[in-house]
Amino acid sequence: MGDNGGHAAFVDAWLAKRAQKLGADDLLALFDVANRALWARARSTLGEVTLMAIAERVLFIAAEKHPFLSVLTADATEGYRCAHLASQADTMKSEDLVRGLRFVLVEHLSVIGNLTAEILTTELHAELQLVGVARRPAPKGRNEKGRKRRA
Amino acid sequence: MKKKDLPRLETGIQNFDALLGGGLPKRSVTVLSGPPGAGKTILTQQLCFSNAQKGKRVLFFSTLSEPTAKTLLHLQQFDFFDPKLFGKGVEFVDLGDLLREHGLTAAADMIMKHVRQSKPDIVVIDSFKVFDDLATSREDHRKFGYELAVNLMAWETTALLLGEYGVADYETNAFFSIVDGVIALSQREALGEQQRFIRVVKMRGTNHSREEHPFLIDVTGVHVFAPRLAITREAHDATTSRCKTGVDKLDELLGPGIPWGSSLLIGGVAGTGKTVLSLEFIYRGAQAGEKGILFSFEETEDRLRAAARGLGWDLDRQIARGMIEIVFIPQPDITVEAHLLMIQERIKKLGAKRVVIDSVSVFLHKITDPQLSREKVFHLCSIVHNANAVGFFPTDIPYGSKQVSRFGVEETVVDGVIILSSTEEGLDRERYIEVYKLRNTAHLKGRHNLEIGEGGITVFPRYAYDGHEPPMPPLELGKRLGSGVAGLDPLISGGLLRRSATLVSGSAGVGKTLMGLQFLLEGVNERQAGLYVTLEESAAQLIASAKALGLPLAKAVADGKMEIMYISREYVRAGQFLTVLADKLTAMKAQRVVLDATTQMLTERMTLEELRHVLYKLVNRFKSLGITSMLTLEAPSLLSKEHVTEVGLSPIADNLFMLRYATNGVGLAPTITIVKTRGARHDRHTHVLHIRRGGMRVETSEAPNARELG
């Protein structure tokens, strides 16, 4: 996937700021919040059918590159769901988890960017930038619905 | 934000991308519609294999239309089919069974399953129309189409959906609002033959052609003809260099030459020499190192080669050297749009600097609309312009027409027009050439004689004061030339002024010829070369007559100090006369010339008015060459008192001598009267001429009956 919007660099910078030394649970929580923020922003413009088609592609490719991500699913209203991944997170290396989640974020942003000539890139990056600004420990019950975006 | 061009997928089909503004937009979903046999599958297959050659991946789904096996069988006939790409670059998937048994949803799932696995750049569904037929409702079909389109988009594939759709479908079927593009193929009779057409009905994000364009399918695949898009006039740096045709003296008519990038119509009825002129234009170019290409629609290459051999040209060698190409396209095989593009390619490939379309009227013979014809000629001009070449476009003018082109409109498009004509003159037929128009070029106007013979074409320019010749120098008052007639020079202030023209009018036998000969022999004494042009007596006769009078004419001729040129009045061509004489005089560096007798040029072919015109040009030419001339005129009767000015020739001359017989009581005696001399006073009396051994001399005393003759 071509990255014409500088998505990889942006996500890397974001992760460096927000995900340093996070445990698996907190990492998944952070990803969950980021995913919901990006999904919500894109959904109003692109619609659920398009976003789900994009998600199917992202998940298919992600599972090819990182087989442990094959347990991820997508939901039309909230985006990527990682409930099944959470149950495996304790047994995974943190770096692998970071690498896999990073791939999903970058791929998601890149596909949207490619399909829209990067028109949404600025806004999506801005959304992501807000995620994890005042990070708090993850609440009990990982990946619950309704978790506040700006944790 | 800076605007971004849509990335595009080149189709690999000649000129198709030009219709699409550069290619199909990547990630677009396009319907390729048309009735069975319109060429949808072949066009698409060519696109697929062309892209697969470049490393792109293609998924080709067959539904319930042409079975995949048959598609593959037919594909092998085409040059673009590469078996090595089968299954690797281009993957064929048959959805027929699945569709029959499980319907739309299963087919859609299967499609996306293959897309996920192959991640193709291009997806083709042939035919997509089957989904219309299998859908249980229009809503179902629309939803199915939308979801499929979105899924294909998400995978960033460029999709082509083929179907037997018609215009009514675009207007009423909601599915067509989902897709990004609609390209319609059709076929019908046009210009007397069945033709295929392609039209881009819709293509989002693209400033595409909206016109119908013909296309052709052959073993190499699909060729789309879109001259309006493919042949656009390119900007060139203004250049001062010009093309010299190399055709004998034609360049003298064309002034500084033909600007490169120009196209000229060569108009004329049949038999006026259009093909020969065009062929020679190509041949002389090759000799000068300029490659040329001739597109012939009537004469085969063999016949043109034979014609060239007949004219003494080694055209075969120039073809063998690769300097000339002859492309023969039989008239029935002409497809204008296709051949316009072929012409463009062949010119470019050869690097031709000279181009002939022989003839443009045959090339466009199927077109009856003058405006369309004009447009096609414009395309030809653009091709020549873009190649920075020079084009000759022979065109047949209808007999009896005053047009300079077939339709009478083409001349507005071209840069120049040369008209070839032939007219009956007495028992003969004379050829003429006229530069009717040549943009940005000061050319000689009017008709000029032209001959076709051994060596090719010879043009005989009638020189004119229009910037091509230096202005006529004034008479040199300080320099006088002896007349060679004893007693005459004192009557004209010492001799004839250099560059002057003298008319000698007289009846038969009065001594005009002798005066002319003595004028030249005097020049020989002064080491001034001379030319005697005789339209009456042969050289032998003149030499014999001179010998009888003791004049050393034979020696002067033998020594090469003067020449005698005999031209039979039966073969005098006014248009050629000037050129022939000017060439001769220049070659021998003559300073004196005699034309005897000018009135012999008055034939059925030449009126007095034309003679006056020719003499005017002749005298001007002599003067500009620094030559002093003497022209004799035959008076109608021995004793005529008719004044030579009555025939209107006197304004041409600086000097006017009237030779007449007068009765002297014993018989007739030749006399001379100086009617006019320019730049000096002269004796106005009539004097007797004595002709005896040693030549003619003037009796300086006044003739006895001079008052009577006055």
Contacts (Cβ under 8 Å, ≥6 apart) of B314: B308
Average pLDDT of the residues in B259-269: 93
In the three-class reduction of DSSP (H, G, I as helix; E, B as strand; rest coil), residue B136 is classed as coil
CB B432 within 8 A of CB B575: yes
B143 sits in which H/E element: helix B138-154
Running DSSP on this structure, what letter comes out for residue A119? Answer: T
Closest residue of chain A to B117, computed from CA coordinates? A60
Q: At what angle do helices B138-154 and A48-65 cross, to 10 degrees?
A: 40
CB B659 within 8 A of CB B624: no
Is the Cβ pair B150, A49 closer than 8 Å? yes
Which range is least confidently modeled, B33-37, B369-373, B472-476, B613-617? B472-476
What amino acid occupies position B492? I
How many Cβ pairs within 8 Å bridge chains A and B? 33
Provide φ and ψ at A86, rounded to 5°. -60, -35
**Cα–Cα distances in Å, from B545 out to B110, B541, B660, B693?**
113, 6, 20, 11
Chain B residues touching residue A111 (CB < 8 angstroms): 154, 156
Token couple for B324:
């000339």
Is the Cβ pair B155, A114 closer than 8 Å? no
Q: How confident is the model at residue B571 (pLDDT cuts 50, 70, 90)?
A: low
> pLDDT tens for residues B169-222?
888 888 888 899 999 999 887 766 678 999 999 999 888 888 888 898 989 999
Q: Provide the β-strand partners of residue B657.
A: B504, B674
CA distance B482 to B489: 7
CA distance B471 to B502: 20
Cα of B161 to nearest chain A Cα, Å? 19
| pTM greater than 0.95 | no
Give the mutation candidate from A49, A58, A112, A120 for the B interface (greatest B CB count, under 10 A).
A49
CB B277 within 8 A of CB B422: no
Which range is least confidently modeled, A129-138, B48-57, B417-426? A129-138
Rg (CA), chain A: 14
- pLDDT at residue A141 in the model: 46
Query: Of A53, A117, A118, which is closest to B154 when you measure between CB atoms?
Result: A53
Q: How confident is the model at residue B620 (pLDDT cuts 50, 70, 90)?
A: confident
In the three-class reduction of DSSP (H, G, I as helix; E, B as strand; rest coil), residue B434 is classed as strand
Contacts (Cβ under 8 Å, ≥6 apart) of B571: none
Closest residue of chain A to B27, computed from CA coordinates? A115
Is the pLDDT score of B470 beyond 60? no
The CB density around residue B111, as the number of other CB atoms within 10 Å, is: 21
Contacts (Cβ under 8 Å, ≥6 apart) of B437: B411, B416, B417
In the three-class reduction of DSSP (H, G, I as helix; E, B as strand; rest coil), residue B80 is classed as coil
CB B448 within 8 A of CB B253: yes
> pLDDT tens for residues A89-121?
778 888 899 999 999 999 999 999 988 888 899
Is the pLDDT score of B675 beyond 60? yes
- pLDDT at residue A109 in the model: 96
Rg (CA), chain B: 39
CA distance B570 to B605: 10
What is the full DSSP assignment across B599-611? GGG-STT--HHHH
Query: Of B1, B150, B154, which is closest to A111 when you measure between CB atoms?
Result: B154
Which residue reads 């034609």 in tokens? B250
Cα of B443 to nearest chain A Cα, Å? 58
Question: What is the dihedral sign for C-alpha A38, A43, A44, A45?
Answer: positive
Picking from B8, B77, B19, B4, the residue whose alpha carbon sits closest to that of residue B45 is B77
- pLDDT at residue B709 in the model: 41
Closest residue of chain B to A111, computed from CA coordinates? B154
In the three-class reduction of DSSP (H, G, I as helix; E, B as strand; rest coil), residue B677 is classed as strand
The CB density around residue B690, as the number of other CB atoms within 10 Å, is: 16
CA distance B16 to B230: 9
Q: Where are the beta strands (DSSP E) in B261-304?
A: 263-268, 292-296
Is the pLDDT score of B621 beyond 90? no
Provide φ and ψ at B210, rounded to 5°. -110, 5
CA distance A108 to A103: 8
Chain A residues touching residue B150 (CB < 8 angstroms): 49-50, 53
Cα of A53 to nearest chain B Cα, Å? 5
The H helix count followed by the E strand count for chain B is 22, 33
Q: How confident is the model at residue A24 (pLDDT cuts 50, 70, 90)?
A: confident
CA distance B5 to B284: 49
ipTM: 0.74
Cα three-residue angle A119-A125-A126, rounded to 5 degrees: 105
In the three-class reduction of DSSP (H, G, I as helix; E, B as strand; rest coil), residue B116 is classed as helix
- pLDDT at residue B102 in the model: 83
> pLDDT tens for residues B113-143?
999 999 999 999 998 988 888 888 888 888 8
Contacts (Cβ under 8 Å, ≥6 apart) of B583: none
Give the mutation candidate from B114, B146, B148, B151 for the A interface (greatest A CB count, under 10 A).
B151
Is the pLDDT score of B591 beyond 90? yes
**Cα–Cα distances in Å, from B375 out to B236, B322, B372, B410?**
21, 32, 5, 8
Cα of B242 to nearest chain A Cα, Å? 50
Query: Of B6, B27, B150, which is closest to A50 when you measure between CB atoms?
Result: B150
CA distance B252 to B261: 20
Cα of A14 to nearest chain B Cα, Å? 24
Is the pLDDT score of A66 beyond 90? yes
CA distance B410 to B403: 10
The H helix count followed by the E strand count for chain A is 6, 2
Of B318 and B678, the structure prediction assigns the larger pLDDT to B318
CA distance B634 to B537: 14
Picking from B540, B94, B459, B427, the residue whose alpha carbon sits closest to that of residue B245 is B459
Is the pLDDT score of B67 beyond 80? no
Contacts (Cβ under 8 Å, ≥6 apart) of B235: none
> What's the farthest any 2 CA atoms get from each other in chain A?
40
Q: How confident is the model at residue B630 (pLDDT cuts 50, 70, 90)?
A: very high
Running DSSP on this structure, what letter comes out for residue B86? Answer: B
CA distance B594 to B535: 11
B697-704: long-range contacts, CB 8 A cutoff, minimum separation 24: B697/B485, B697/B486, B697/B487, B697/B488, B698/B485, B698/B486, B698/B487, B698/B488, B698/B491, B698/B672, B699/B487, B700/B487, B700/B490, B700/B491, B703/B662, B703/B664, B703/B669, B703/B671, B704/B664, B704/B665
Query: Of B1, B112, B156, which is closest to A114 when you measure between CB atoms?
Result: B156
Q: Classify residue B361 by burial, with Cβ atoms within 10 Å: 0-12, 13-18, 19+.
A: buried
Is the Cβ pair A54, B154 closer than 8 Å? yes
Q: Classify residue B636 by burial, with Cβ atoms within 10 Å: 0-12, 13-18, 19+.
A: exposed
Is the pLDDT score of B343 beyond 60? yes
Of B644 and B75, the structure prediction assigns the larger pLDDT to B75
Count CA atoms within 13 Å of residue B339 on its CB side: 20
Q: Where are the beta strands (DSSP E) in B439-542?
A: 447-453, 456-460, 476-481, 496-498, 501-506, 530-534
